[in-house]
């Protein structure tokens, strides 16, 4: 065929801002894996029944009637004519997982109410409509959140969870909250238009959402990714592999994002120019956009970064989990693994040596629902504060789940954060992190809650892994730690201090742990109980701590045989736990915490108040002292620098992944045209050689 004939062949349609990585379709084994994957999703209960679907439709119909009557009532109160009252209306739109068609049993319905311009959000929606809903018998767990980034009213209607937003139209100037409220519906529609195959997209997204929840990285509020973020990531992979089936797309998802050079943005289409005066994501013009760690850009104008909540610490955790998923998918493609291995729950409470426990207490369940929602929304700030005050050397892993201690008589729940030293940092002997001031600042910001009521309290304390409360564990007790794989076991190590042998491959504790136990026994009650006298009956004795140490794994190549040696330096993170009532503006509020009791050990660990005040805002304290601990105490951290927390995962499990994020400021400044097409072309050129494997 001549060149003229070739030129007449239509080129395949391009989805997204770059050419696809591969247009290859599935082979028989890919189709078989897809059948197995879909069967797994069905068995996992990800699809709702016809009865549940019908109930959702019925609830949406009731909501539409309620908001329509509400608008007519307001129209009459505003003095409009009878004809205008009859014509007044409000419309309900859905968005999120329900609109995308990937919702499962028990999932909430994201809804947007659009009303006339004379019905406002601040008073009419959050007060008048709130009062109407509160009087309806089927409505429970009604919770307004007017100060959220996207103001929302949460409720359950006849057992169906509803997130209700409001936007008014026919305005000369549309406010930013209204734009953000409207964007949800438009983004969902755009996603479905921009993917090559909607059904393949939906199956892949269901799979990845289940995976993210099992691995503890599904939560926008705590700094991970929410539903729209995962939808955008999956949609981009669908664009890069337009003819792939779900089993291929899941594998390619992990392959792409383990190699993605953040903060290069993920975009489904070119960004539109700033034509209506709204701020559009553009790091060339907006300095704040340059600080985003994992930009995932929405496809509808005005284009925004949907993942602005991601921090360095949460990006590190997600990259670790992407590495885990990639390893499992590689094993599945080699016929050495099964889909069930991909969805093994992340063993958060076996993955770190030290944790922060945040206890939230209120007078009754209704107060707790509002109070814990506020506290959870601020946990991301605690992560950012710790990163800031320790110059990123102390990393946090917020766990996106809440736990309830049923033994407490008061309304209670708890959140947990894993703590570890940043991998690859040079260890300074005896280095400590004093984050008491950081936690004080966090508590102060939380206590500024607009709807605070007496009885709403928050307590923050440090716990070691062995002190994890039993109510957070699946069976109420700690699991016996399984033996290490042979490849992970190490030779016996003798402590230079006592000559006793500690086997890192066993579940036994070495002498350092025994010493910790002896020290704990020798401490006075005053040192162990850091609770102010007027609060002693409102917090359990286990919410106490004085100081703790974080294990650090360093690797060093042996010059003789290339073997790696593991060392651990202890660093004390000074305790900061206590609370005190102070009078502020006539109301009782919680503010700074005091450490009560004996402080004889603290003089060697903590700077004096004068020293700290002269040192400015820094919370990093250094002092001498280190000791060698067992590899087992580190918390499932691998010599090779990888960890996933699951002893059953592939290749020795423990996928740490890469925590390095390459800077692309130069690319952002010089390489992006309109929709960052140049950047993504350059990135895909680097990805393509390895990504094209296994087409």
- Residue 70: inside a domain: yes
Please compute the mean of the pLDDT values over residues 187-201 and round it to a whole number: 95
pLDDT above 60: residue 586? no
Examine residue 384 and state whether it is found in any structural domain, yes or no. Answer: yes
Query: For residue 673, what are the CA distances in angstroms to 15, 278, 305, 388?
Result: 17, 19, 17, 33
pLDDT in tens, 138-191: 999 998 888 887 889 999 999 999 999 998 877 545 566 777 777 888 899 999
The verdict on residue 627 lying in a domain is no
Residue 271 is predicted with a pLDDT of 84
The more confident residue out of 67 and 430 is 67
Q: Indicate the number of domains in the chain.
A: 3
331 and 197, same structural domain?
Answer: yes
Q: Would you state the pLDDT for residue 187?
A: 92
Amino acid 524: pLDDT = 40
CATH of the domain at 368: 3.30.70.590
Residue 315 and residue 222 in one domain = yes
Least confident of 257-266, 545-554, 686-695: 545-554
Q: How high is the pLDDT of residue 681?
A: 53
In this prediction, residues 596-616 reach a mean pLDDT of 34
Q: What is the domain range of residue 77?
A: 50-186
Place of tokens 């201690």: 405
With beta carbons less than 8 A apart as the criterion, state whether 303 and 280 touch: yes
Query: Over the stretch 385-401, which tens digit does the pLDDT of each residue have?
Result: 999 999 888 999 999 99
Query: Once rounded to an integer, what is the mean pLDDT over residues 269-280?
Result: 77
Q: Would you say residue 465 has pLDDT above 80? A: yes
554 has a pLDDT exceeding 70: no
Whether residue 530 is predicted with pLDDT greater than 90 in this model: the reply is no
Whether the per-residue pLDDT at 281 is higher than 80: the answer is: yes
Per-residue pLDDT band at 623 (split at 50, 70, 90): very low
Residues carrying an active site annotation: 97, 108, 110, 163, 209, 218
> Structure tokens of 414?
């708890």
307 and 357 co-located in one domain: no
* pLDDT class of 327 with cuts at 50, 70, 90: very high
Of 471-475, 639-643, 684-688, highest mean pLDDT: 471-475
Q: Which two tokens stand for residue 255?
A: 């392959």
DSSP bridge partners of 414: 359, 403
Question: What's the pLDDT score for residue 564?
Answer: 34
Q: For 323-341, what is the mean pLDDT?
A: 95
Q: SS3 string of 542-577?
A: CCCCCEEEECCEEEEECCCCCCEEEEECCEEEECCC
Residue 573: alpha-carbon gap to chain centroid:
24
> Is 684 part of any domain?
no
Provide the β-strand partners of residue 581.
Answer: 590
Q: What is the dihedral of CA 127, 130, 135, 137, to 10 degrees?
A: -170
Tokens 């998802």 sit on residue: 253
521 found inside a domain: no
Q: What is the pLDDT of residue 477?
A: 54
CATH code, domain with 101: 3.30.460.10
Higher pLDDT: 87 or 637? It is 87
In DSSP notation, 268-287 reads SSPPPP--SS-----TTT-G
How do residues 203-242 score in pLDDT, each as one tens digit? 999 999 999 999 999 999 999 999 999 999 999 999 999 9
pLDDT surpassing 80 at residue 562: no
The per-residue pLDDT for 478 is 58
173 and 206 assigned to the same domain: no
Query: What pLDDT, on the 0 to 100 scale, is given for residue 183?
Result: 81
Q: 422 falls in which pLDDT band (50, 70, 90)? A: confident
The residue whose two tokens read 């590190």 is 316
Is residue 512 one of the residues assigned to a domain?
no
Ranked by mean pLDDT, the top range of 424-433, 611-620, 666-675, 682-691 is: 424-433
Q: Characterize 129-140 residue by residue with b for buried, 16 or more Cβ atoms within 10 angstroms of its Cβ, and e for exposed.
A: bbeebeeeeebe
The reported pLDDT for the residue numbered 274 is: 63
- The pLDDT value recorded for residue 612 is 34
Q: Establish whether the linkage from the previous residue to 302 is cis, with ω within 30° of 0.
A: yes
Task: Identify the burial level of 455 via C-beta atoms within 10 angstroms of its C-beta, where 0-12 means exposed, 13-18 middle and 19 or more buried.
Answer: middle
Question: What are the CA-CA distances from residue 395 to residues 32, 51, 319, 552, 669 (Å)?
Answer: 41, 46, 14, 12, 29
- Which carries the bigger pLDDT value, residue 241 or residue 650? 241
Of 164, 186, 208, the position where a domain reaches its end is: 186
Name the strands in the sheet holding 152-157, side by side, starting at the edge strand that comes first in the sequence. Answer: 91-95, 109-115, 160-168, 152-157, 139-145
Min mean pLDDT across 26-30, 216-220, 421-425, 483-487 is at 483-487
Cβ(344)–Cβ(646) below 8 Å: yes
pLDDT at 625 over 50: no
| Pairing, β 160-168 against β 431-434 | unpaired
pLDDT (tens digit, 9 = 90+) per residue, 349-393? 999 999 999 999 999 998 999 899 899 989 999 999 999 999 888
Domain co-membership, 203 together with 180:
no
438-458 average pLDDT score: 93
Does the reported pTM lie above 0.75? no
Burial bucket for residue 396 (CB in 10 Å: 0-12, 13-18, 19+): buried
pLDDT of amino acid 147: 80
Task: Judge if 144 and 240 occupy the same domain.
Answer: no
Q: Are residues 267 and 289 in the same domain?
A: yes
Is residue 476 pLDDT above 50, yes or no? yes
CATH of the domain at 290: 1.10.1410.10
Q: Does residue 61 carry a pLDDT above 90?
A: yes
Same domain, 331 and 197: yes
State how far the Cα of 187 lies from the Cα of 199, in Å rounded to an integer. 18
pLDDT-based confidence at residue 480 (cuts at 50, 70, 90): low
The answer as to whether 117 is a domain residue is: yes
pLDDT given for residue 117 in this prediction: 87
Same domain, 233 and 364: no
Q: Is 493 helix (H, G, I), strand (E, B) or coil?
A: strand
Judged against a pLDDT cut of 60, whether residue 654 lies above it is answered with no
Same domain, yes or no: 140 and 274: no
* 23 domain-assigned: no
Name the phi and psi angles at 37, rounded to 5. Answer: -65, -45
pLDDT at site 521: 39
Phi-psi region of 25 (alpha: psi -120 to 50; beta: other; left: phi over 0): beta
Per-residue pLDDT band for 675 (boundaries 50, 70, 90) equals very low
Winning range, highest mean pLDDT, from 184-193, 202-211, 263-272, 466-475? 202-211
> What confidence tens digit (pLDDT) does each residue in 73-131 have?
999 999 999 998 998 888 899 999 999 999 999 899 999 999 888 999 989 999 999 99
Q: Which of 186, 214, 232 is the last residue of a domain?
A: 186
| Final residue of a structural domain among 186, 215, 230 | 186
Helix axes 677-691, 246-259, angle to 10 degrees: 110
Which pair of structure tokens corresponds to residue 457? Answer: 């309290």
Q: What confidence score (pLDDT) does residue 568 get?
A: 33
Residues 523 and 532: their CA atoms lie apart, in Å, by: 18
Please tell me whether residues 418 and 436 are part of one structural domain. Answer: yes
In terms of domains, do 409 and 305 share one? Answer: no
Start-to-end CA distance of the chain, whole Å, equals: 27
* Crossing angle for the helix pair 227-240 and 198-214, to the nearest 10 degrees: 130
């Amino acid at each position: 065929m001549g060149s003229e004939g070739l030129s007449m062949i239509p080129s395949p349609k391009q989805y997204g801002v770059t050419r696809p990585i591969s247009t290859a379709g599935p082979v028989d084994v890919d189709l078989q894996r897809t059948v197995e994957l879909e069967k797994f999703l069905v068995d996992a209960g990800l699809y709702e029944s016809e009865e549940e679907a019908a109930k959702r439709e019925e609830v949406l119909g009731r909501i539409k009637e309620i908001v329509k009557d509400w608008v007519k009532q307001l129209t009459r109160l505003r003095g409009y004519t009878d004809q205008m009252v009859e014509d007044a209306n409000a419309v309900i739109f859905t968005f999120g997982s329900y609109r995308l068609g990937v919702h499962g049993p028990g999932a909430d319905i994201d809804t947007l109410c659009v009303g006339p311009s004379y019905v406002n959000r601040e008073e009419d929606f959050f007060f008048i409509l709130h009062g109407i809903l509160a009087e309806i018998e089927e409505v429970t767990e009604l919770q307004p959140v007017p100060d959220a980034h996207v103001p929302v009213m949460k409720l359950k209607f006849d057992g169906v969870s509803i997130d209700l937003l409001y936007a008014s139209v026919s305005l000369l100037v549309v406010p930013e909250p209204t734009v953000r409220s409207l964007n949800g519906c438009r983004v969902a529609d755009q996603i479905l238009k921009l993917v090559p195959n909607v059904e393949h997209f939906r199956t892949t997204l269901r799979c990845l959402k289940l995976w993210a929840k099992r691995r503890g990285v599904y939560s926008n509020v705590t700094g991970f990714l929410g539903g729209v973020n995962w939808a955008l990531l999956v949609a981009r992979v669908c664009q890069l592999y337009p003819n792939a089936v779900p089993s291929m797309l899941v594998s390619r998802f992990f392959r792409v994002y383990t190699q993605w050079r953040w903060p290069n943005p993920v975009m489904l289409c070119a960004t539109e120019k700033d034509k209506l005066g709204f701020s559009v994501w553009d790091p060339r013009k907006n300095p704040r956009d340059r600080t985003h760690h994992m930009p995932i850009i929405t496809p509808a104008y005005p284009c925004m970064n949907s993942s602005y909540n991601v921090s360095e610490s949460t990006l590190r955790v997600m990259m670790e989990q992407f590495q885990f998923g990639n390893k499992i998918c590689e094993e599945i493609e080699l016929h050495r693994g099964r889909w069930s291995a991909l969805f093994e729950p992340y063993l958060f409470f076996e993955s770190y040596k030290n944790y922060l426990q945040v206890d939230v207490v209120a007078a009754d369940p209704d107060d707790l629902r509002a109070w814990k929602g506020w506290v959870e929304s601020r946990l991301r700030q605690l992560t950012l504060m710790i990163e800031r005050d320790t110059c990123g050397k102390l990393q946090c892993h917020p766990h996106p789940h809440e736990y309830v201690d049923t033994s407490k008589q008061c309304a209670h729940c708890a959140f947990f954060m894993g703590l570890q030293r940043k991998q690859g940092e040079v260890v300074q002997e005896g280095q400590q992190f004093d984050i008491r001031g950081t936690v004080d600042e966090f508590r102060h910001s939380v206590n500024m809650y607009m709807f605070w009521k007496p009885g709403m309290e928050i307590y923050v304390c440090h716990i070691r892994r062995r002190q994890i409360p039993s109510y957070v564990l699946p069976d109420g007790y700690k699991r016996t730690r399984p033996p290490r794989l042979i490849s992970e076991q190490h030779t016996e190590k003798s402590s230079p201090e006592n000559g006793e042998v500690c086997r890192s491959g066993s579940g036994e504790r070495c002498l350092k742990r025994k010493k910790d136990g002896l020290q704990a026994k020798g401490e006075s009650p005053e040192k162990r109980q850091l609770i102010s006298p007027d609060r002693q009956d409102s917090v359990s004795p286990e919410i106490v701590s004085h100081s703790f140490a974080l294990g650090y794994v360093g690797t060093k190549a042996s010059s003789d045989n290339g073997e790696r040696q593991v060392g651990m330096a202890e660093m004390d993170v000074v305790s900061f736990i206590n609370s005190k009532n102070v009078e502020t503006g006539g109301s009782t509020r919680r503010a700074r915490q005091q450490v009560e009791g004996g402080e004889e050990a603290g003089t060697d660990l903590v700077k004096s108040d004068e020293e700290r005040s002269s040192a400015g805002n820094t919370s990093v304290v250094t002092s001498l002292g280190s000791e060698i601990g067992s590899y087992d105490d580190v918390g499932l951290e691998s010599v090779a620098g990888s960890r996933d927390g699951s002893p059953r995962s592939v290749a020795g499990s423990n996928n740490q992944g890469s925590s390095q994020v390459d800077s692309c400021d130069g690319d952002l400044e010089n390489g992006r045209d309109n929709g960052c097409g140049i950047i993504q072309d350059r990135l895909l050129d680097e990805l393509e050689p390895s990504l094209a494997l296994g087409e």
